[in-house]
Every structure is written in structure tokens, then in C-alpha cells.
Chain A
Amino acid sequence: MKNVSIKNFLVAMTAAATLGTAGTSYAEDPIRIGGMYILSGSAATYGEFAQRGIDLAVGEINSSGGILGRQVEMIYEDTQGKASVAIQAARKLAYSEGVDALVGLDSSGVAQGLVPTIPALQKPLIITHAATPDVTGNLCNAFTYRISVNVAQNMKAAALVASETDATNWTTIGPDYAFGHQSWEFFGNYLKDIKPDVNLMSETNFPRFGAEDFTPFIDRVMDSDAEGVLISVWGGDLVNFIRQANNRGFFEKDLEVMFTVGAATEVLTALGDEMPEGVHLSTRYWYEAYDNDMNARFVKAYLDAYGNPPSYNAQGAYAAIYAYKQAMEAAGTTDGPAVAKALSGMTMESQNGTVTFRKGDNQAMVSPNWGVSGPMHPEHGIRTLTNLQIFDGEEVARTIEETGCKL
């Protein structure tokens, strides 16, 4: 009898030990990068577009010799748009998969939860989409970088656009989490600074993220005195929102409508000509906004591979892989702290020009794009952007003091 239990115990121990060593990596193995995106639910296209961007970058890098002579391999985890899931995913990637670096994050709420846990993992993280100012602000740390535009930068630009319109009464419709609330807060503060006579209405609208029905919120804005409305709904929600708004005649009303992430090509592709003309649309990167070799190559490769134009999420994810290439080669190693250090203050060529990760808060100085939706593109099947404005990333950024980041 005793033998049986000891044998069982040994089997269990062996199994545990085998499982335990499964994550060890060796020097000549490929460099592993962990990607954390929303891969299920109403915003899953964002994860998919990011993966496309990464696949292009990894393909290019691997066919031209890799990084430090090693191939690059991606491992993805679904964050489900939840902070607790993302934190577990990051631990799994770092400790079980043995990744050298992390990229990802689509949601501000996820970023706020995950970022404080990153230093413990000792792996660098480049955020390619999530826009909450906090992660390059009061929650900043030496391992977390962001290559995409943040809410503060984009809302400064939005306020500049809004101040040019005749609208005085402003309200918002945004998702009921960090992103929606912070978008309105920053927009309101900046707009009030530029144009003190605006009225920021107290009736705001924050539908749940992933809500199917936006009509009560649409009706409320249509019935109010609002002359301008800032809409930070995004992803699959935004597609639903615009279809429902079309049905209600929302866009026929005399309103200045500003979509803070409306020119995401995920959304434009899904909507086609259902996206109305004449509304203000923003994006962290518009594929036709930049005239440089890298952008031309990227847009062409993306169109050839997937048949539709790249989104800002694909761009950020693509650029992040190149950022790691440059940082790892500068550091001469894939060691987490060394790579994180190499990223600090690093200047790189990206699709949206020369980009620097600012030393004080690790935020990349990238330029928000705003435009007005125009006629359909003859080939790409999406709305074009007219009156395109490319704001200077540094000019619309908060100062280091304003960010509250202490590195």
C-alpha cells in the first residue's frame, strides 16, 4: 500500500518538474515576443489587425536575418479586454512561455491594471493602442513604453479642431470606462482653455462597453441643446453606433460630430458608405497622411496581403516590432532591463515619420490625425479623409510635469 502512494507521489513530482522546465529558453532559440490583444468579442478586429501588422514586420525581419541573428517568433494571448485576464496572460507569457518582450493592449482599462505589474516581470512592454494618459503619467515605469498616440495628445488636437467650429454647447457619448471618461475630461479642459466661452454640458452619456443598443443615448443627445458632440465609442461598438445613428437621423441634425477614433480602418472597412460624410474623424495614424519610404512600403505590403488599408492598430503593432529590433540591436542583448533602457529616449524611423520615445514618460511623440469624412475611396472601399490635419506629436503632448510621471 505504501508503495502505491509513494509511486503516485513520484509520478506527480516528475510531472510537476517536467511542466516546470517547459518554459526555459536557450540562446540560439528564436527571440520570442508576447502579443496581448483583444482576440474575442466586439473589438476582436483590433486584435486581428494588430496581428496582421506584426506578421508583416516579423516576416520582413525574419527574411532579412532576424534580430541579433536570431529569428523572431510571436506568441499571442487574448486579453478579452479585461485587466485581470491580461495580468495573468502577461505572467504566463513571461514565466511560462519565456518571452523576451511584450507588445499589445487595446483597452485603457486593461492598461491601467496591467502596467503597474510590468516591472516585476522585468520585460519591456510597448503599448501599441491603449491610450489612457495614466500609463505614461502617474502609473509610468521604466519598463512600459507607448508607440501610439495617447488620449491627452489626441484630445488636445480634438480641442483645437473643435475650437474652429461654431458649436458652443458640447456633450459626449463614450464607453463607460477609463477611455470614455478620460477622453471627455481632457477634451473639456483643453477646449475650455482655448475657448473659454464654450459650455461643457453636465448631461453626458456613457453606455457600457460592448452595449448592443445605443439608441437611448442617441435620442438623448438629439433631444438636448447640444451643438457639438465628442464620440469616443470605438471598435464593434462604433459600427453598431453609426448604424443606429443613421436610422435615427442623427447625422441630419445640425451637430458638429467628432469621432475620436472614427477613422480606424477596421471601422471604416466594416461600414463602407454607411459612414456619413462631413463628420470629424480622428485616428492615431492615417495611411495616406505620410510620405516616406517606410510608409509606402508598409501600406503596399498591407494592401497586397490583406486587401484593405492598414489601421493605426496595425501600424503601431508593426512599428513596435521594429522598435524592439532597434533596441535589442543597440543593447546587443534581449535581456529585459537592458532592452527597456535602450528604448528610453530612442529615436526611430516609423511609418509616421521620425519618432522618439520621450525620456521623461516613455511616450512616443507621434502625431494625431484629424480630418473630415469625404467621398468613398475608389479602390479601398472606405471613406476618404478630407481637410486632413497632422498635428505635431510634441506640441500636443503634455509636459513631463503635467504627466505626473516620475522615472
Chain B
Amino acid sequence: MKTKVLMAILAAVIAGLIAVPWIASYFYVFIFTEILILGLFAASFNLIFGYTGMLSFGHAAFFGIGAYAMALILIHLEWPFLVSLLVSMGASALLALVIGFLSVRLNEVYFAMLTLAFGMMVFAIAYQWRSVTNGSDGLAGFTLGSFGLGLDLTLANPSVYYHVVLGIVAIASIVLYLICRSSFGMTLKAIRQNPERVSFAGLNVRTYRLVAFVIGGTFAGLTGGLIAPFLRVASPELLHWSMSAEPILMAILGGTGYFLGPFIGAAAFVLLETVITTYTQAWMLVLGIILAVMVIFFRKGLLGTVIDWWMEVKK
């Protein structure tokens, strides 16, 4: 019964998401586009953090490289959108392989520091290399061409772009979910709980961690490829360490123990930011208070807390 209700809620949410451009103003189309992209970004991070137990502080590197790849292609090559997205994913996969290869051998704070250092290295390159990246101003002024697959979609129309993002995020989420549910995903969870034991079982923990890191990075590159046409600019801020902190905050806010937690966290994050910045510039202060309360009292995040309550009270 409960599963059925949860499924009904999920179906209603999906129906609501599809209907956003018809029932809400343009402004909310933008808000929900951002939520979907950042939600998948946070979910890709959660594969590394929530599932495998590695706290990466450099996840924005893959997000940003995806955005820059997309912007560079749209400016110089004008390839179809889907092809450009694949290049974004390829670029971030390659970068994740290099950074991951050098980082996953370390644990805990050393891993966090190393990913932070690599992330800031990528940021510095984007910031300094003016001739290619246009320095601190970032790449802007690109136009959206065709979608690919022979489909005639006007990507510049925000509603169309929203539905494109919704479709791509939905497919990517299902793929990511299947990865998490597979025996590979189970092994990752085991590594988080007890890496020594997994190692004694004869599995190469480092390889598993590297693969998880690359998968997470690749999906982050996909979201970067989606954000550039949405923001209409690929700027170094997308690569900054503060951007790496956002999926951490979203995952914790929503709940790292659930696949949909980071999506809920991203929604809460973006909606809170929108509402709070209307009243005060001190949005980070309010966020800090909310996070402190979450971490101290509701360690399972918004989604985890609600599900726990549901299971307890409504027996």
C-alpha cells in the first residue's frame, strides 16, 4: 500500500514536472530547468559521496568542463546539441579518469584536499587562458542550433529547452539509478561501509572507486553541457570550489541515503535561494542555519526524514 502511494506521488510529481510550462509562468520554467540540471549534478556527486563514501571537493571541475566543451562547440563548430552533449560527457570522463587515477588512492581528508586542489587547477586554467576561455568573463554569445536526430526543436525557446532537459535528466537518472541498484552499485555501498572487507573478498577497491569517480564525473559533464545553453554563458564560476560545495550541500539537504535525495535537495536549495534573495541578500546565512539544523537534528536529510516519519506515523 505504502509503496503504491509513494509511486502515485512520484507519478504525480513527474506529471507536474511535464506540465510546468503550461501551468506556471516562464520564470518557473527557468527555476525548474535549473532544479533538474542541478539535481542530476548532485545525484552524480552522490554516487561518489553517498554510495562510495568519497567526499570529493572538486566535482565542479567536471560540471565546468562539460559547460566549456558545450560552449566551445556551439561557438566554433556549431554541431547538433546531442552530439555536443556527448562531447561534454567525453571531455569530463577523460578529466575524471586523470583526476580520479591520482586521487582515489587516498582516503578521507587527503582525498578531499586532492580533489579540491585539482578542481582549483582546472579553475585556474579556465581563468587564465584568455585566448580560449575568454578568462574571467567566460564564453558567451553562442546560439543554439539544431537538436540532432533530425528532430525539429527550437532549443532557444525556454519551454522547449525545459522539456529537452527534463527528458535527458529523466533518462540519465534512470541509467544512474540502474547503476546504483546493480551489483556494482552494491559493491560501492559495501566499500563505503567497510573497504577492508571488500578488499579481503578479492575485489580491487581502488578500481571500483575509480570507476565510480569516472561515472560520477561523466554525468556531471552531462549536466554541465545542459547548463551552458541554459545560462548562455560558461564562466569560471562554474568551476570554482564553491560550485563543488553546492552538490555537497544539496545531497546533505535532501538526504544522501536515497537516490532521489539530491534531487529534493537541489529543489529545496534553488527554491529557497529564489525566495530568500527576494527578501535579503544574506541568503548564505539562512542556508547555513538550515544546514546546521539539518546536520544536527535530521541527518537523513529532507527526504530521509519525511520517509522515516511516513513509515513511523502512518502505520
Complex Cα spacing A253 to B30, Å: 54
Complex Cα spacing A87 to B138, Å: 13
Contact B135 A17 (CB under 8 A): no
Name the one of B20, B30, B135, B235 contacting A176, with C-beta atoms under 8 angstroms.
B135
Mark contacts of B105-130 with chain A using CB atoms, 8 A cut-off: 1 yes-contact digit, 0 otherwise: 00000000000000000000000001
Query: A92 contacts which chain B residues (CB < 8 A)?
Result: 27, 30
- The winner among A13, A40, A94 for most chain B CB atoms within 10 A is A13
Flag whether B28 is at the interface (Cβ < 8 A): yes
Interface window among B5-13, B57-65, B178-186: B5-13
Q: A83-B138, A116-B232, A208-B136 are in contact. Are A19 and B28 (CB under 8 A)?
A: yes
Flag whether B23 is at the interface (Cβ < 8 A): yes
Task: Quote the shortest CB–CB distance from B136 to chain A (angstroms).
Answer: 4
Contact A21 B136 (CB under 8 A): no
Query: A120 contacts which chain B residues (CB < 8 A)?
Result: 156, 158
Contact B23 A20 (CB under 8 A): yes
Query: B137 contacts which chain A residues (CB < 8 A)?
Result: 83, 108-109, 112-113, 177-178
Contact A113 B8 (CB under 8 A): no
Query: A27 contacts which chain B residues (CB < 8 A)?
Result: none
Task: Quote the shortest CB–CB distance from B145 to chain A (angstroms).
Answer: 14
Q: Which of chain A's residues 81-116 have a Cβ closer than 8 Å to chain B? A: 82-84, 87-88, 91-92, 94-96, 108-109, 112-113, 115-116
Name the one of B5, B24, B27, B141 contacting A91, with C-beta atoms under 8 angstroms.
B27
Task: Quote the shortest CB–CB distance from B209 to chain A (angstroms).
Answer: 32
Complex Cα spacing A1 to B140, Å: 50
Q: Which of chain A's residues 1-35 have a Cβ closer than 8 Å to chain B? A: 1-2, 4-5, 8-9, 12-13, 16-17, 19-23
Complex Cα spacing A348 to B35, Å: 44
Query: B140 contacts which chain A residues (CB < 8 A)?
Result: 83, 112-113, 116
Name the one of A12, A19, A88 contacting B25, with C-beta atoms under 8 angstroms.
A19
Name the one of A1, A40, A117, A176 contacting B281, with C-beta atoms under 8 angstroms.
A40
* A-side interface residues, number (CB < 8 Å): 43
User: Which residue of chain A lies nearest to B1 when distances are taken between CB atoms in the complex?
Assistant: A1
Q: A1-B5, A5-B12, A116-B232 are in contact. Are A209 and B136 (CB under 8 A)?
A: yes
Contact A20 B281 (CB under 8 A): no
Flag whether A394 is at the interface (Cβ < 8 A): no
Complex Cα spacing A8 to B306, Å: 14
Contact B25 A5 (CB under 8 A): no
Contact B26 A83 (CB under 8 A): no
Complex Cα spacing A120 to B144, Å: 12
Flag whether B82 is at the interface (Cβ < 8 A): no
Contact A177 B12 (CB under 8 A): no
Name the one of A84, A95, A115, A177 contacting B26, with C-beta atoms under 8 angstroms.
A95
Contact B27 A84 (CB under 8 A): no
User: Which residue of chain B lies nearest to A18 when distances are taken between CB atoms in the complex?
Assistant: B24
Flag whether A78 is at the interface (Cβ < 8 A): yes
* B-side interface residues, number (CB < 8 Å): 34
Complex Cα spacing A95 to B237, Å: 25
Name the one of A1, A82, A88, A95 contacting B235, with C-beta atoms under 8 angstroms.
A82
Contact B30 A95 (CB under 8 A): yes
Flag whether A139 is at the interface (Cβ < 8 A): yes
Complex Cα spacing A39 to B28, Å: 24
Contact B24 A19 (CB under 8 A): yes
Mark contacts of A64-84 with chain B using CB atoms, 8 A cut-off: 1 yes-contact digit, 0 otherwise: 000000000000001000111
Flag whether B94 is at the interface (Cβ < 8 A): no
Mark contacts of A165-183 with chain B using CB atoms, 8 A cut-off: 1 yes-contact digit, 0 otherwise: 0000000000011100100
Name the one of B4, B136, B237 contacting A177, with C-beta atoms under 8 angstroms.
B136
Q: A19-B25, A20-B25 are in contact. Are A113 and B30 (CB under 8 A)?
A: no
Query: B143 contacts which chain A residues (CB < 8 A)?
Result: 116
Task: Quote the shortest CB–CB distance from B263 to chain A (angstroms).
Answer: 16
Query: A4 contacts which chain B residues (CB < 8 A)?
Result: 5
Contact B27 A16 (CB under 8 A): no
Query: B158 contacts which chain A residues (CB < 8 A)?
Result: 120
Contact B25 A181 (CB under 8 A): no
Flag whether B231 is at the interface (Cβ < 8 A): yes
Complex Cα spacing A120 to B238, Å: 23
Query: B12 contacts which chain A residues (CB < 8 A)?
Result: 5, 8-9, 12
Complex Cα spacing A341 to B152, Å: 31
Name the one of A9, A84, A91 contacting B233, with C-beta atoms under 8 angstroms.
A84
Task: Quote the shortest CB–CB distance from B60 to chain A (angstroms).
Answer: 13
Flag whether B16 is at the interface (Cβ < 8 A): yes
Query: A176 contacts which chain B residues (CB < 8 A)?
Result: 135-136
Query: B135 contacts which chain A residues (CB < 8 A)?
Result: 176-177, 181
Contact A95 B25 (CB under 8 A): yes
Mark contacts of B217-251 with chain A using CB atoms, 8 A cut-off: 1 yes-contact digit, 0 otherwise: 00000000000000111010110000000000000
Contact B23 A8 (CB under 8 A): no
Q: A23-B27, A112-B141, A113-B137 are in contact. Are A2 and B8 (CB under 8 A)?
A: yes
Mark contacts of B133-159 with chain A using CB atoms, 8 A cut-off: 1 yes-contact digit, 0 otherwise: 011111011110000000000001010
Complex Cα spacing A185 to B300, Å: 55
Sample of 10 more A-B contacts, CB < 8 Å, known A5-B12, A84-B237, A92-B30? A1-B1, A40-B281, A82-B237, A95-B27, A96-B27, A109-B137, A113-B140, A113-B235, A116-B141, A176-B135
5 closest cross-chain pairs (CB), A and B: A96-B27, A95-B26, A20-B24, A109-B137, A113-B140
- Report which A residues bind B (CB closer than 8 A): 1-2, 4-5, 8-9, 12-13, 16-17, 19-23, 39-40, 78, 82-84, 87-88, 91-92, 94-96, 108-109, 112-113, 115-117, 120, 139, 176-178, 181, 208-209
Could you list some 23 contacts between A and B, CB below 8 A? A8-B12, A16-B24, A20-B24, A20-B28, A22-B25, A23-B27, A83-B233, A83-B235, A84-B233, A87-B233, A91-B27, A95-B25, A108-B137, A109-B137, A109-B138, A112-B137, A112-B140, A112-B141, A115-B141, A120-B156, A176-B136, A177-B135, A177-B137
- Report which B residues bind A (CB closer than 8 A): 1, 4-5, 8-9, 12, 16, 20, 23-28, 30, 130, 134-138, 140-143, 156, 158, 231-233, 235, 237-238, 281
